[in-house]
Amino acid sequence: MVDVYGTLGPACASADTLEAMLRQGMTGVRLNLSHVTLPEAAPMVEALREAGRRCGMSPKLLIDMQGPEMRVKALPAPLALREGETVPLDFLAPEIRSEIAPGQEILLDDGKLLLCAHNADSALVLRGGTLSSRKSVALPGVELRLPPLTEADRQNLTLAHDFGVTGVMQPFVRCRADLEALRAALDGAGGEGIRIFAKIENREGVARLDELLPAADEIVIARGDLGNSGPLWELPVLQKRIAAACRSAQKPFMVVTQMLASMERSPVPTRAEVSDIFNAVLDGAASVMLTGETAVGAHPVEAIRYMAQTVREAENYVNDNM
């Protein structure tokens, strides 16, 4: 059975909404710890537990670490970046700006915004929009060597067992040592039974997939930043190659990012989106996940319903034809 995950956030923070999502087929949730700590998220976790009790089930809880991901600094207010204007890069941390040379592309918020650097201090906005705190940053062609776990990550991991965490998602996995560091931190905090989900989000992770497979419990094809690592039209090939490698190694894998992105606003998905979910299951995915669709979207329950129903149709097709 394919797991169906949503992401916790303001749109689904109540036990009533989470209960409805579970009854529609959701089997677990992701909690993004790039913006919050486990203690700060305790009310949402308790709402999930209450929803599970009402449904007679124990939903899985995945926590998504900060890891070595590059992010925008905390901003006092959302920042409007208008196409064609030059903007200062003071919303980036010094260690990121030090890697920026003239002409460097800067992708923000999973590539929704695109800048071209004049230098390490300013850039031209090529694709504008509104930039909020802690959104992702990608510098195509640049590998910033950051430690696999932040101090905040380590603090959250010490609490993972007590919070009932079932899995930890490690972002931007680059080598086996990243996963071994996470395993050691979990084991040292009483989390020996907590599963490791290795997020493949850059070309280095793709290139070293063979060494990552034995150290991970599940591989995550995280298409947001993976799609920023090169031309977007190459992403489907990467997804297919990762899926094939996982099948060959009999390693479970998850597909995530923009699976029902239109449902952040629309009550009905696109035909392309439901086909994407269907094909992920046909490729052998052990789990699929929604992110903004349930965390901040207008239709979290309906989004889960469409995902779960599509997954079940795909599973029936596999059982009948393969």
Give DSSP secondary structure letters for 219-244. EEEEHHHHTTSS-GGGHHHHHHHHHH
Number of domains in the chain: 2
Question: Which residue of the set 7, 17, 257, 310 is catalytic?
Answer: 257
Q: How confident is residue 4, by pLDDT bands cut at 50, 70 and 90?
A: very high
Host H or E run for residue 28? strand 28-32
Catalytic residue status for 265: no
The verdict on residue 74 lying in a domain is no
The verdict on residue 317 lying in a domain is yes
The verdict on residue 143 lying in a domain is no
Question: Which residue of the set 30, 135, 183, 251 is catalytic?
Answer: 30
Least confident of 16-20, 97-101, 191-195, 205-209: 97-101
Domain that holds residue 198: 3-69+152-321
Catalytic residue status for 7: no
Question: Mean pLDDT, the chain, as a whole number?
Answer: 94
**CATH label of the domain that carries residue 108:** 2.40.33.10
Q: What is the pLDDT of residues 281-295, one digit of tens each?
A: 999 999 999 999 999
Cβ-based neighbours of 284, under 8 Å, separated by 6 or more:
243, 246, 247, 253
Catalytic residue status for 257: yes
Q: What is the pLDDT of residues 118-169, one digit of tens each?
A: 999 999 999 999 998 888 888 888 877 778 898 899 999 999 999 999 999 9
Catalytic residue status for 247: no
Say yes or no: 264 and 134 in one domain: no
Question: Which residue of the set 7, 17, 27, 71 is catalytic?
Answer: 71
The verdict on residue 39 lying in a domain is yes
Spatial distance between the Cα atoms of 151 and 36, rounded to a whole number of angstroms: 13
How many residues make up the chain in this entry?
Answer: 322
Question: Which residue of the set 135, 183, 199, 305 is catalytic?
Answer: 199
Spatial distance between the Cα atoms of 128 and 139, rounded to a whole number of angstroms: 17
